[in-house]
């Protein structure tokens, strides 16, 4: 009888040890997931806001209309559906970045294209946990921005053609862009179905998918509201502070706004 008890105890102890080890591994993995994933990535919410972004890397402006930055957008990307990727450039437009998940930061925006100023895995924005038990990695779009030295400083400015102000690198990389620009998106995830009812099959893009005709008489403020534009940001990646002339030149080169119904 004792031999039988010992025989049973050994495999039972092994099973318990394996289960404990598996549980500890799961806890460690989830701890890592939370450590490297901002809440906006862990629990994504639908958004469709925009910002005009200009990057100047060591004196050369990045052209986001280049094919290596551009994505072909899905026709449902302006609906209540949550796309698999939170940030896009498309329509062959320079500067005009589309923010499809709520809570995106400047750091996530830069990391998505290859400049990692916020840590974590270089190839991932983090992991999403909104479809448990699946833990889904959210890959960056690609390492497509120009190469920089590790200690390259970012000089960040927000403003318009009329005025601008210097901002801190930390605020830009760490704050969600609504907070950073001091402008709330007009898309409310809690009422997105109502927006769909008001604006069925609406698209914030040029071309045949627009649901309103072009109106050249719209004011700049109307166009900002219609495009759900959070703001304009110019980022210089270089060792020396840019001159007023260099900064002004970029703000005088803002991509023109066009008619759109998304966020209107």
User: Would the pLDDT of 118 be above 80?
Assistant: yes
Of the two residues 65 and 76, the one the predictor is more confident about is: 65
Going by their DSSP bridges, the two strands 60-61 and 46-57 should be labelled as antiparallel
List b or e across 228-252, with b for residues whose CB sees 16 or more CB atoms inside 10 angstroms.
bbbbbbbbbbbeeebeeeebbebbe
Q: What pLDDT, on the 0 to 100 scale, is given for residue 154?
A: 97
Q: State how far the Cα of 38 lies from the Cα of 109, in Å rounded to an integer.
A: 13
Q: What pLDDT, on the 0 to 100 scale, is given for residue 62?
A: 98
Q: What pLDDT, on the 0 to 100 scale, is given for residue 192?
A: 43
Cα four-point dihedral sign 205, 209, 211, 213: positive
Residues 96, 50 contacting (CB under 8 angstroms): yes
Residue with token string 């066009």: 258
pLDDT in tens, 190-205: 444 434 433 333 334 4
Model confidence at 25, in pLDDT bands (50, 70, 90)? low
Q: What's the mean pLDDT in 219-235? A: 92
Mean model confidence pLDDT for the chain:
83
End-to-end CA distance of the chain: 79
Distinct helix (H) and strand (E) counts, the chain: 8, 9
Domain extents in the chain: 37-251
Q: Model's pTM, two decimal places? A: 0.81
Going by their DSSP bridges, the two strands 96-101 and 124-128 should be labelled as unpaired
């Amino acid at each position: 009888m004792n031999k039988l008890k010992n025989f049973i105890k050994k495999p039972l102890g092994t099973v318990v040890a394996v289960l404990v080890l598996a549980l500890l591994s799961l806890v460690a993995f989830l701890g890592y997931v939370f450590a490297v994933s901002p809440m906006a990535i862990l629990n994504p919410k639908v958004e469709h806001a925009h910002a005009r972004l200009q990057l100047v890397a060591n004196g050369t402006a990045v052209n986001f209309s280049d094919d290596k930055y551009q994505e072909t957008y899905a026709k449902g990307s302006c609906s209540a559906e949550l796309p698999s990727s939170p940030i896009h450039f498309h329509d062959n437009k320079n500067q005009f970045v589309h923010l499809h998940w709520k809570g995106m930061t400047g750091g996530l925006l830069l990391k998505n294209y290859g400049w990692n100023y916020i840590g974590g895995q270089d190839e991932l924005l983090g992991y999403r946990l909104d479809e448990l038990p699946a833990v889904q990695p959210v890959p960056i779009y690609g390492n497509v921005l120009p190469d920089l030295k590790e200690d390259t400083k970012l000089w960040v400015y927000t403003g318009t053609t009329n005025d601008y102000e210097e901002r801190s690198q930390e605020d830009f990389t760490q704050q969600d862009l609504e907070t950073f620009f001091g402008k709330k998106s007009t898309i409310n995830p809690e009422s997105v179905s109502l927006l769909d009812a008001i604006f069925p099959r609406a698209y914030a893009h040029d071309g045949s998918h627009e649901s309103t005709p072009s109106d050249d008489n719209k004011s700049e403020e109307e166009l900002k509201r219609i495009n759900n534009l959070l703001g304009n940001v110019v980022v210089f990646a270089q060792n020396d502070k840019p001159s007023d002339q260099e900064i002004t030149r970029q703000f005088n080169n803002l991509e023109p706004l066009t008619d759109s119904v998304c966020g209107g």
